[in-house]
């Protein structure tokens, strides 16, 4: 009996060490209402307070914000689909994965949900420059870029809402 208890004790230690050796750190993100993978673009269009094409003018990483939106960037709206943005807007996001990277001089289609925070859950798509409705329509016709299907869907939603 004593031998069995001793072996059982060693087994517990062995299992503990095995779990510690093969486990690794993971991250999880709870999106709730704004989950970009769970909801259609039409639902996102409804939830978003501002939707616009914009070009990143400047940005910086705020190293003092360890667990918050540590990247701040200024975007010049070039075509507003929803909302009333007119001047450059300051947005925040995270500088580490799984968040989409932001690059200076690049253009994006951005959905905002009542704040100036861009995160993993919302819609944030890198595009080419779009300064007019005509360029928006032209972009929706392209077949050589990965985001063209998103643009076609958003154009259809935009046109149905703005008849």
Secondary structure string (H, E, C) spanning the chain: CHHHHHHHHHHHHHHHHHHHHHCCCCCCCCCHHHCCCCCCHHHHHHHCCEEEEEEEEEEEECCCCCCCCCEEEEEEEEEEEECCCCCCEEEEECCCCCCCCCCCCCEEEEEECCCCECCCCCCEEEECCCCCHHHHHHHHHCCCCCCHHHHHHHHHHHHHHCC
- What is the Cα–Cα distance from 23 to 27, expressed in whole angstroms? 13
Q: Please, what sign has the CA dihedral across residues 99, 105, 106, 111? A: positive
Q: What is the pTM of this model?
A: 0.74
pLDDT attached to residue 156? 93
Convert the pLDDT of each residue in 108-137 to its tens digit: 999 998 888 887 777 888 898 898 889 989
For residue 100, pLDDT over 70 is answered with no
CATH architecture for the domain at 32-161: Beta Barrel (2.40)
pLDDT attached to residue 1? 46
For residues 150-161, give the mean pLDDT: 91
Domain boundaries, the chain: 32-161
For residues 66-80, give the mean pLDDT: 82
Instruction: Measure CA 151 to chain center.
Output: 16
């Amino acid at each position: 009996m004593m031998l069995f208890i001793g072996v059982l004790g060693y087994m517990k230690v062995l299992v503990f060490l095995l779990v510690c050796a093969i486990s690794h750190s993971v991250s999880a993100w709870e999106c709730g209402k704004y989950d970009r993978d769970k909801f259609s673009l039409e639902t996102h269009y409804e939830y978003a307070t501002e939707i616009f094409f914009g070009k990143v003018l400047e940005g910086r990483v705020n190293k003092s914000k360890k667990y918050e939106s540590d990247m701040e960037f200024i975007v010049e709206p070039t075509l507003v689909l929803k909302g009333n943005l007119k001047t450059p807007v300051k947005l925040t996001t995270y500088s580490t994965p799984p968040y989409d990277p932001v690059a200076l001089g690049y253009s994006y289609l951005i959905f905002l949900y009542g704040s100036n925070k861009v995160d993993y859950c919302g819609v944030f798509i890198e595009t080419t420059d779009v300064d007019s409705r005509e360029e928006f329509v032209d972009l929706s016709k392209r077949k050589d870029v990965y985001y063209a299907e998103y643009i076609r869907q958003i154009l259809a939603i935009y046109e149905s809402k703005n008849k």
